[in-house]
Amino acid sequence: MTPRQRLVLLGLAALVLMPAVMRIALALPAFGAPEAELGQAMNALVPGLRHVTNMVAAVNFDLRGIDTLGEEGMLLCAVTGTTVLLRGARGESGRERAGHLPGRPVTPRADATVLVCRIAATLTLLFGLSVALHGMTTPGGGFQGGVIVASGLLLLYLGEGYEGWRALIPPPVLAVLEGGGAVLFVLCAGLPLLAGHPALQNLLPLGEPKDLYSGGLMVVVNAAVALSVTGSFGLLLVEFLEETREPADDPVPEDTLPEDPLPDEAER
């Protein structure tokens, strides 16, 4: 299918779907005037029951926490599957070398680019940590904060290059974050079961409303999600960047060259 045919197909699909989209958009309630009774009930009950002011976090980590645990497992499986597929073609030697793309031009990094990336990466990492830590009090949480932190890791790569980036962010650390966060989430759900309580039953002090550590067990679950998401997206970045890295970024060490001479050299 040619690009023009794809654009024609896109235009026809838009014409067919646009009336339905407009009807749904016009039927939405006005901003600030929700009509869902469940949402109104949560807004009225959850602050007093769980001492948190972020209702989204309360739903994700308490009211439907088991569903969130399943979603965390799905993320873990997706990252594992992606890693297996990419390493299946590239190999898994454990060295800090990646796939090569012959003929790909190498553009030297300007000093201004390095400086901007270092500053932006630092600010992004700090902002991601703030979003994750304040998940019980303000919009955000572990998932959002983890994604922002992973974005900061990508900025480090853009500024430092592949070799420097791998030295700063070793993949084993990302694997520990991913697996450790998932295990911590499972423990938060399983330990109350061993004590005869429902899964994810809060057994910790709730703290004061609008406090950084309010919410009891939800604080731990939020931290587990932040660790796991940061590690998951960080590992994805490692795998994708290893697939596209130019060999000039990381010269081949002499001790990794084949010891046996090439056929042409042997004939000489």
HEC assignment per residue over 4-18: HHHHHHHHHHHHHHH
pLDDT given for residue 267 in this prediction: 46
The answer as to whether 199 is a domain residue is yes
pLDDT given for residue 228 in this prediction: 94
CA distance 191 to 73: 18
pLDDT given for residue 89 in this prediction: 63
Q: What are phi and psi of 135, to 5 degrees?
A: -65, -20
CA distance 135 to 119: 25
Using alpha carbons, select from 204, 255, 250, 248 the residue that is nearest to residue 50.
Answer: 204
> What separation in angstroms does the CA of 159 have from each of 94, 147, 162, 222?
24, 19, 9, 30
Q: Which residue has the higher pLDDT, 230 or 32?
A: 230
Can you read off the two tokens belonging to residue 165?
A: 């980036």
- Assess whether pLDDT exceeds 80 at residue 35: no
The answer as to whether 60 is a domain residue is yes
CA distance 68 to 49: 20
Write the DSSP symbol of residue 29: P
CA distance 156 to 198: 42
The answer as to whether 232 is a domain residue is yes
Neighbours of 31 (CB within 10 A): 6
The answer as to whether 255 is a domain residue is no
- Assess whether pLDDT exceeds 90 at residue 45: no
Can you read off the two tokens belonging to residue 126?
A: 């700090």
Q: Residues 6 or more apart from 118 whose CB is under 8 A from it?
A: 156, 159, 160
| Stretch 41-55: mean pLDDT | 87
pLDDT given for residue 257 in this prediction: 43
Tell me the residue range of the domain where 58 lies.
47-92+110-243
Q: Residues 6 or more apart from 205 whose CB is under 8 A from it?
A: 216
> What pTM does this model have?
0.73
The answer as to whether 20 is a domain residue is no
Extract long-range pairs of 202-208: CB within 8 Å, 24+ residues apart. 202/50, 202/62, 206/50, 206/51, 207/51, 208/51
| Stretch 161-172: mean pLDDT | 80
The answer as to whether 257 is a domain residue is no
Q: Which residue has the higher pLDDT, 79 or 102?
A: 79
Write the DSSP symbol of residue 204: S
The answer as to whether 3 is a domain residue is no
pLDDT given for residue 99 in this prediction: 46
Return the minimum-mean-pLDDT range out of 82-91, 92-101, 209-218.
92-101
pLDDT given for residue 244 in this prediction: 60
Number of H helices, E strands in the chain: 9, 0
Using 50, 70 and 90 to split pLDDT, how confident is the model at 182? very high
Give the chain's domain count.
1
What proportion of the chain, given as a percentage, has pLDDT over 90? Answer: 33
Write the DSSP symbol of residue 63: I
pLDDT given for residue 101 in this prediction: 59
**Gyration radius (Cα) of the chain, Å:** 24
How many angstroms from the chain centroid is the CA of residue 102? 30
- Assess whether pLDDT exceeds 70 at residue 76: yes
The answer as to whether 134 is a domain residue is yes
